[in-house]
Chain A
Amino acid sequence: MLVRGFLTGLLLALLAALATGKRLKDRMYQPLITHGFCFRRTNGTHQFGCSNSMGGDVGVVHVLFAESDLDWMLEQGPHWPYMAVVRPSLFTGANVERMKRSGKIAGIVVVMNEALANDAPDGYSDDQSCPNQLSSLYWDSQGQCDPDEAPWNPNGSGMLLESFDFPIFLTRHENTTQFLLEDCFNAFNKPHEDGSARDWPLCAVELDAHMYSAVSTETCLRRSNLVNTLNPVKFCDELGDFSYFTFLKAENTSDPSIVEEDQSVIVVSSQLDSITLFDLNEFGADSPITSIVALLETARLLAVNPPDFQGDVSNILFSLLFGEAFDYMASQRLVYDMAENQFPRKYDAEKYPHGQKPLFNVTRINQIVEIGQLFNQKSGQKVFAHTDTEFQGQELLNDLLSAARRHQLDLSAATVSPSKGLPPASSQSILKAQRDIPAMVITDFDDQYTNPYYHSLFDRPKSNLNYDHDQGPDQEVVQHIGRVASTLADYLFEKASSSRARVPTFQANYTLVNELLYCYLVKPACPLFLAVANKETPPFYDPFPIDPFPQYVGVDIKTQFHGIFSHHLLAYFTGEIVEELTNNLEDCQAPDDQDVFSYMFLKGESAPSNWTGEKPCNESVSCGYCFKTLSFRKESKSPAFVIEGYDFKSLNYSSWAESVWKSVNARIFLKGAPSLEAGFFAIGVIVFVFSLVIVFWLNRHASEIFEPGTRTNSTESSATTVSTAGGAAGRPIAL
């Protein structure tokens, strides 16, 4: 380092070419600070997403702020390949498809700084118009979604299921955006008034996010497993995380080996994840946060006022399924685990002599109540209950509708259900295993999504939900989610209680709903997330990020904080405090000879009164409460990766994997004129050849041109040599 310092300093002095004392490289290259990029994913048979050639792709910048810019670039621009710098509203499926087909594109940079943050197209979704179609219950049968005729997601661009051989990056960085638009494009590249292109030098961008994986998950896993002990290379990671569950009532069977087929458990579920084209930008509001918040609030309401479970229903299972955006991965795994008798856990009498949760399979399910997208500006406060084409539970639906009426919730039965069946929902996976389970999916749409920005960058709280934390609990979205939660609590209580039980007045805690939305959608370092923090989460494990936690399911080797916090909230709302273990992090361990409940140490919303530690409570990881909880987690990785010798070409299970990448680089620089460069090369060659000729000539005539040396101690020999011009070595005397 020191030596390098010396040299650099001296070079500066000698060359004196750098006024600012910065390296020349730093003046030539501006970093393009990115906030996500499109990367490659594979499923069992195909590859999707983006990759680029090794070392990155370079293109001349052209800013697309109007459709006409796109026309100019593709039809008139002479300097292709171009790097398209696109405002969000022009980043639509059609435009990208056009650029892709033209072959004149080296890559795309989507600029989304403060000014362009809400520059959304009228409706746009990265996902397909028929999400998860191949895994649908209705694939190839009645109710199948038709992309051309009234699909569920009419704004679906299908961008997530395209393969691009150029990179696509996203930047929100203010200075980078300014530099790209002003110092780069306007200063060097903007075509003249008459539409003719500017001359070199032109501003260019290099993007590099080279992906290791290719072709399909099967290929990539095979390559990764090739025996190569010297240099093991991993090409892709399987997608997967954990799904989180909780029972409302503790169950401990004397003989868990027997699976009761009593159809007595109500499953309440919601999807936990979302997806966009850009890594780390999965901040979905309508999908999935509205449904997660409604589920958590329902669970909380019922934990406070639990039903007596004296009727047909013996328990309620709340489930948050992580990975549903990828062909119902999590629910497929749930059904698979149930079928394999390993849900909630394999029966192990030796390990758990004091009991474990009874085995659970689809035959125990009484009915499914699934919460889908619940609110956006277009949907307003209308919600719909969707049912399968073969739905056999009309009275359940009627009870649900009347519960909704009691809570002033505008809920009606979806008009398309008899013919079209369920919209994309986790219930489809369960119904695949057992079609006669009554399943109701509550969503904010009837025959097609009202959410204009399903699975896209624009499904944001302000623009899509009109949500603003400062507006307090009275705002529309909070009230609406609260009403859904209290309706569901009411309905579930009624179903799970004996006929004698008096139904309490369920009233959602709107302040809490508002806080939950704030945590999930705006600021993760919020009071509620802080209340459910422990040593495995921020702020103790890592600092909180500024942006919300991404909701992407991610690869199996990493557990997402989005899921962890959801789990903690579930435990926090439904668990009970073990008083004697308050402020006792070390001993907050449930007895390990049972698998009925577990303990979880959480900070709590207010500091325990008897905290005596040196640090203030909010800074200490061991200040907090010990919660006894029935919640648990189960791996959500697809069964395709669990089953030995699974045939990836079959469509039975989701088989998504994410490519590995090593480095991601993006930089802005000027590209010189090719003709000038050729000129430089020519000059260099001429100088070299010319110098060869001159030196040769001088060397040959040296003895004639130069006097012999005059120094006393060498006169003699010089004179001799010169006199015998031609030299001892048979050569003329050299210069």
Chain B
Amino acid sequence: MTALTFFGAALTAFGPALSLFVLTIAHDPVRIIVLILSAFFWLLSLLFSSLFWTAVYPLQHVLAFGLVFSILFQELFRFFLYLMLRKADRVMRKLTENEHTQIFSHPHILAYVVGLGFGIMSGAFSLVNVLADSVGPGTVGFQGESQNFFMISASLGLALILCHTFWGVITFVAFDDKKYHWVAAVWILHYLFSCLTLFNPSGWYVASVLPAYINLGVSGALAFSCAGGSWSRLIQCLPRPSPTPA
């Protein structure tokens, strides 16, 4: 019965990521490898933050503490991954010379794939418990929780996945171009996103979901311009009543 809720929430949270994967990643084996590598780096960051969390025993029950350091580790590992990929750049190009891939010749594509890998893993870990419980037969509400809890969680997960993708693009471009203020911007956006979810336990979902999507919009716009997107050309491409030949 409540399998409906499960599929609804899962498709909401991971549907866009799935679309991106199927249409932009799946056709290229090298992209898949890089995606998994990046997901693995997110897991490494999780491992280190959990070690740290375990070590600092007295603060284990303070949510904000874990959150702050977890984000720190994620961003550090994003940086490590950048360093590694840059170091390996030449070798990778050589290795993939005979492949049809364009990933190493297009730094934005690489950045995007890395970001998506981070996002998918982070989204999976933040939602797996909620999704498992959404199968039912019960739902939340004994303590006054919203009946939309599962969908709210899913939509936050969706925003988180997409944000990570954008942050990946911004960070890589920023390091490449030595525009370190963009890196700082990513860190701030990440902290903002996550800290606002601290409102969730109080049930102020508006306070977390709305800013999360504003955050997503800002991150998206930043990433768009970082990747060399042009708003005017975007608008040109939009379908019009009388299409002009491209």
Interface residues in chain A, defined as those with a beta carbon under 8 Å from any beta carbon in chain B: 2, 5-7, 9-19, 21, 23-25, 27-30, 58, 183, 188, 201, 204, 206, 667, 669-674, 676-685, 687-688, 691-692, 694-696, 699, 701, 704-711, 713-714, 717-718, 721, 727-729, 731, 733-735
Contacts and interface: CB of A to CB of B under 8 A. Distances in A.
Contacts of A9: 50, 53-54, 60, 66
Contact of A709 (B16, B22, B107, B140): B107
16 contacts: A6-B54, A9-B53, A15-B130, A16-B63, A16-B194, A17-B153, A23-B129, A58-B137, A670-B138, A672-B5, A672-B141, A680-B9, A684-B11, A687-B12, A705-B229, A734-B102
A672 B147 contact: yes
Given A10-B125, A701-B237, 15 more contacts: A10-B70, A15-B200, A24-B133, A24-B140, A670-B142, A671-B138, A672-B2, A677-B1, A681-B8, A684-B8, A684-B15, A687-B16, A707-B230, A718-B105, A735-B109
Interface of B: 1-2, 4-5, 7-12, 15-16, 18-20, 22-24, 27, 46-47, 49-51, 53-54, 60-61, 63, 65-67, 70, 89, 100, 102, 104-109, 112, 122, 125-126, 128-130, 133, 137-143, 145, 147, 150-151, 153-154, 158, 176-177, 194, 197-198, 200-202, 227-230, 233-234, 236-237, 246
Most buried by A among B9, B18, B24, B63: B63
A687 B108 contact: no
A706 B100 contact: no
B38 to A, nearest CB: 15
A16 B70 contact: no
A2 B61 CA distance: 16
A18 to B, nearest CB: 7
Contact of B139 (A669, A681, A692, A717): A669
Given A21-B61, A682-B8, A688-B18, A28 B140 contact: yes
B8 A692 contact: no
Contacts of B128: 11
A687 B125 contact: no
B194 A14 contact: yes
A728 B201 CA distance: 51
A705 B230 contact: yes
Contact of B105 (A667, A670, A717): A717
B67 A708 contact: no
Nearest to A725: B246
Contacts of A727: 102
Nearest to B149: A17
A201 B8 CA distance: 18
A1 B61 CA distance: 18
B190 to A, nearest CB: 12
Contacts of B104: 714
A561 B108 CA distance: 77
Contacts of B53: 6, 9-10, 13
Contacts of A681: 4-5, 7-8, 11
Nearest to A701: B237
A188 B5 CA distance: 21
Most buried by A among B8, B9, B197, B246: B8
A685 B67 contact: no
A696 B24 CA distance: 9
A691 B158 CA distance: 11
A707 B234 CA distance: 11
Contacts of A709: 106-108, 228
Contact of B125 (A11, A710, A735): A11
A667 B136 CA distance: 12
B46 A10 contact: yes
B8 to A, nearest CB: 3
Given A670-B142, A687-B15, A735-B24, A711 B107 contact: yes
A684 B10 contact: yes
Contacts of B150: 680
A455 B58 CA distance: 57
5 nearest A-B residue pairs (beta carbon):
A669-B138, A13-B66, A707-B228, A684-B11, A688-B15
B195 to A, nearest CB: 9
Contact of B147 (A13, A673, A711, A734): A673
Nearest to A26: B133
A535 to B, nearest CB: 46
Contact of A204 (B9, B129, B138, B177): B138
A695 B20 contact: yes
Contacts of A680: 4-5, 8-9, 12, 150-151
Nearest to A19: B201
A29 B140 CA distance: 9
B130 A24 contact: yes
B85 to A, nearest CB: 13
A677 B5 contact: yes
Given A676-B147, A704-B236, A718-B105, A17 B139 contact: no
B75 to A, nearest CB: 14
A17 B197 contact: yes
Given A14-B126, A731-B27, A735-B112, A721 B105 contact: yes
B228 A710 contact: yes
Contacts of B176: 711
Given A15-B130, A705-B233, A709-B107, A671 B228 contact: no
A734 B30 CA distance: 14
Contacts of B49: 10, 13
A29 B136 CA distance: 10
B109 to A, nearest CB: 6
Contacts of B19: 688, 691-692, 694-696
